[in-house]
Every structure is written in C-alpha cells, then in structure tokens.
Amino acid sequence: MGEYGLVEAILREAIHEYQKCAGQQTRRGARLFREVHQWFLADDREWDFSFINVCQILDLEPTYIRTGLKIWCERQRKQISEPILG
C-alpha cells in the first residue's frame, strides 16, 4: 500500500507542476514545464517511475490523462488571450 501511495503522489505532483508551470515566462518555469510535459509524453517502459509505468501501477489510461492535460492547457491559453470585459 505504501508503494501505491508513493506512485500516486508522483502523478499528483507531476500534474501540479504541469499546471503551475504552464505558460510561465521565466527560464526556470519554462524549463520545468518542458520537462514535466516531456515526462507525460514519453512512452518509456524501462524506467520504474515513467509516466506509462505510473499509469499501469495505478490502473489509469495514459491517453485519458494526456488528453485531459492538453484540454486544460488549451483552455488556459484561451483564457489568457481573451480580453477581460468589465
């Protein structure tokens, strides 16, 4: 059960970092976003804590999570580009 909690925490932290760093303009923020984005996109099955293996352990569908993150990111970009009406 402890291992399951650790793997779940890894996924939660990755999603948190993805959302926190999306659209950041600083070098550090952009780099962190790029790294976590690449982790989500990688189909690596060799590394124990790869996104694919984390999903397998948690019995989650990687495509579902990737699609959800993509939709979230697109909505964030749309909100940023829309003028604020007051």
Model confidence pLDDT, tens digit, residues 3-58: 899 999 999 999 999 999 988 889 999 999 999 999 999 999 999 999 999 999 99
pLDDT exceeds cutoff 70 at 79: yes
How far is 25 from 86, CA to CA, in rounded Å? 26
Region 62-75: mean pLDDT is 95
| Model pTM score | 0.85
For residue 3, what pLDDT is reported?
Answer: 87
How far is 38 from 51, CA to CA, in rounded Å? 10
Q: Are residues 53 and 79 in contact, defined by beta-carbon separation less than 8 angstroms?
A: no
For residue 83, what pLDDT is reported?
Answer: 61
For residue 78, what pLDDT is reported?
Answer: 82
